[in-house]
Amino acid sequence: MLPFSIDLKPGLPVAEQILFAVKRAVVAGQLRPGDRFPSVRVLSQELRINPNTAHKVVAALVNEGVLVTTPAVGSIVAAPAAGTRRERAALLGAELERLVVEARQLGLTLDEVQDGLAGQWRRLTGK
């Protein structure tokens, strides 16, 4: 059984959906630093996806610093990113730009986006 939940939807890249689900599980505390992450084989079998896709997901999570790979142990959830708050916030630049573009295309105001963001923050963190 996987340590995160996901309901794969057609029309969206599978790897992106899994990446998001894993990151959401980390933020929500379902996956904690030091927890073991499923192997590529287990991930591909449990989700019924191509092993190459599972490998791509694990590699991306390692590249993004969500997971670390240790010889003879496998992949584990990494500790939160180091660096100053400003440096860590800068890592969100591209995602925030996409959010602003999408919000503008939908005709949302800054207040509506901030309210939506705050609601999602509370939902995922309980704060």
Structural domains of the chain, ranges and CATH numbers in brackets: 14-77 (1.10.10.10), 85-125 (no CATH)
Q: Are 18 and 46 in contact (CB under 8 A)?
A: no
pLDDT in tens, 6-52: 888 888 899 999 998 998 888 888 899 999 999 999 999 999 999 99
Q: Are 22 and 62 in contact (CB under 8 A)?
A: no
Look up residue 42 and give its two tokens: 């287990």
Kindly tell me if the per-residue pLDDT of 82 is higher than 70.
Answer: no
Q: What pLDDT is recorded for position 33?
A: 93
Q: Which of 16, 97, 24 is nearest to 49 (CA)?
A: 16
Which helix (H) or strand (E) segment holds residue 69: the answer is strand 67-70
Q: What pLDDT is recorded for position 36?
A: 94
